Structure formats: structure tokens, C-alpha cells
């Protein structure tokens, strides 16, 4: 495991410390968990955006009329 240094806002660090205390965990564990969740989400989001853009490039998108029809089917006014 590598060590790194970051600057953290005092209020945010107080919040981290509060979570660490309530979970009886060290600050570093909480920060690592938060980073892991953030990185997992960002990687997932990037893949989903790329997949969506690929669908658009292929022309694999719904027409406005298809979207409205699908929403109307469920009683939702899609404008």
C-alpha cells in the first residue's frame, strides 16, 4: 500500500472523523472506503457514457414519438 498526502477541508475531515468514531474504524479506513466507492462509480459512469455514445453513433436511439408513446402507456405526460 502506498502513502499519499491530500489537503482536506476542516469541516469535511470532521465529518470523516465522526463516521470513523461511530463505526470504530480508523480515519484512513473511512477515506479508503470513500475513495473506493467514488472510483468504482466514476469508472462505471464513464463506461456507461461511452456505451451510450456508441449507441448514438450506431443510430440505436428512440425517436421522440416512441418515447412519448412509452411514457403515455404508463400515464405520464412526456411533453
For 32-43, what is each residue's pLDDT tens digit?
999 999 999 999
Determine, yes or no, domain membership for 22: yes
Residue 61 has pLDDT above 80, yes or no: yes
| Domain count along the chain | 1
Determine, yes or no, domain membership for 1: no
Burial environment of residue 10 by CB neighbours within 10 A (0 to 12, 13 to 18, 19 or more): exposed
Determine, yes or no, domain membership for 54: yes
How many Å apart are CA 55 and CA 47, to the nearest integer? 12
Determine, yes or no, domain membership for 27: yes
Position 77 confidence tier, pLDDT thresholds 50, 70, 90: confident
Q: Give the chain's end-to-end CA distance (angstroms, integer).
A: 53
- C-alpha radius of gyration, the chain, whole number: 22
Domain with 34 in it: 10-73
Residue 45 has pLDDT above 90, yes or no: yes
- Identify whether the C-beta of residue 78 lies closer than 8 Å to the C-beta of residue 67: yes
What pTM value is reported for the model? 0.74
Amino acid at each position: 500500500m502506498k502513502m499519499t498526502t491530500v489537503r482536506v477541508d476542516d469541516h469535511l475531515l470532521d465529518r470523516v472523523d465522526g463516521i470513523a468514531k461511530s463505526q470504530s474504524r480508523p480515519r484512513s479506513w473511512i477515506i479508503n472506503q470513500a475513495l473506493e466507492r467514488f472510483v468504482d462509480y466514476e469508472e462505471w459512469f464513464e463506461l456507461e457514457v461511452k456505451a451510450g455514445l456508441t449507441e448514438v453513433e450506431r443510430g440505436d436511439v428512440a425517436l421522440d414519438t416512441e418515447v412519448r408513446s412509452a411514457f403515455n402507456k404508463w400515464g405520464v405526460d412526456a411533453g
